[in-house]
């Protein structure tokens, strides 16, 4: 008999919304309650593709805009076999950014439509739950280290925020909006409750295909 699959849970939001902290806290909480869970993040800067992306984000190299978009997508696709394997083993994956960041950031550049940006990620494992950590870009700018990497300007982040809002109109995705302006503990409480609810729903369903 095959074991029940893990859930695919994604945290999204503008830069400095607290996604990484919340992903780590959620994985710990799930593990403590006896549920196997692991964190993943995109971009995964450890692979060869990830290293190209890292150098681009750190402004050590320049890449053409379409090219870097496709690299971000390829960086997700290269992890798909591992993701599927882990989900099938009953491990819940808590993912720090996914295709939604890919679309929101590239489509914030001039000349890129949401439709074009979505295409390369069509068919990726579909998240069971996407929590959007909502934070006003000017509040995000006041949090630490804003402005070091590429894209980290308030103007760009404002456009990214608008693109996320457009993506959230898509009712085929299980979006939940979380007010990220509160304390780490308050935000975690909401995220944990929503995640626990989705675990039991996901285990009886096959993994879906994104935007298909
Ligand atoms: N980013 C992230 C993209 O532009 N496209 C993508 O597909 C993904 C996953 O990279 N500014 C951007 C958003 C962030 C940066 O930052 C990655 P971090 O701090 O590693 O999440």
Radius of gyration of the chain (CA): 17
Measure 34 CA to ligand 1 centroid, in angstroms: 31
Beta pairing class for 208-209 and 125-126: antiparallel
Top pLDDT among 1 and 100 is at: 100
Region 140-160: mean pLDDT is: 86
Summarize pLDDT for 17-46 with one digit per residue, the tens.
999 999 999 999 999 999 999 999 999 999
| pLDDT interval class at 1 (50, 70, 90) | very low
The pick from 10, 57, 73, 164 for probing ligand 1's pocket by mutation, whose C-beta has the most ligand atoms within 8 angstroms, reads 57
Beta pairing class for 175-179 and 129-134: parallel
Measure 92 CA to ligand 1 centroid, in angstroms: 22
The residue nearest atom 3 of ligand 1, judged by CA position, is 102
Summarize pLDDT for 168-211 with one digit per residue, the tens.
999 999 999 999 999 999 999 999 999 999 999 999 999 999 99
For residue 7, the 8-state DSSP code is P
pTM of the model: 0.97
pLDDT confidence of residue 67 = 98
Dmax (CA) for the chain in angstroms is: 53
Does the complex come out with an ipTM higher than 0.90? Answer: yes
> Ligand 1 within 6 A of 132 CB?
no
> Ligand 1 within 6 A of 72 CB?
yes
pLDDT confidence of residue 141 = 81
Atom of ligand 1 nearest to the CA of 97: 9
Q: Tell me if residue 1 falls in helix, strand or coil.
A: coil
């Amino acid at each position: 008999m095959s074991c029940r699959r893990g859930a695919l849970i994604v945290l999204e939001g503008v830069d400095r919304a607290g996604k990484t902290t919340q992903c780590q806290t959620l994985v710990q909480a799930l593990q403590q309650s006896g549920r196997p869970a692991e964190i993943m993040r995109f971009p995964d800067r450890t692979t060869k593709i990830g290293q190209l992306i890292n150098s681009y984000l750190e402004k050590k190299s320049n890449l053409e805009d379409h090219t870097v978009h496709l690299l971000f997508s390829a960086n997700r696709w290269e992890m798909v076999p591992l993701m599927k394997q882990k989900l099938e083993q009953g491990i819940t994956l808590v993912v720090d950014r996914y295709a939604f960041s890919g679309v929101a950031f590239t489509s914030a550049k001039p000349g890129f439509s949401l439709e074009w940006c979505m295409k390369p990620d069509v068919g990726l494992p579909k998240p069971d739950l996407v929590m959007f950590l909502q934070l006003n870009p000017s509040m995000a700018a006041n949090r630490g280290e804003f402005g070091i990497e590429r894209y980290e300007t308030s103007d760009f982040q404002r456009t990214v925020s608008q693109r996320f809002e457009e993506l959230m109109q898509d009712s085929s995705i299980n979006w939940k909006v979380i007010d990220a302006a509160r304390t780490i503990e308050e935000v975690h409480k909401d995220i944990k409750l929503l995640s626990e609810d989705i675990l039991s729903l996901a285990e009886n369903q096959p993994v879906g295909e994104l935007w298909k």
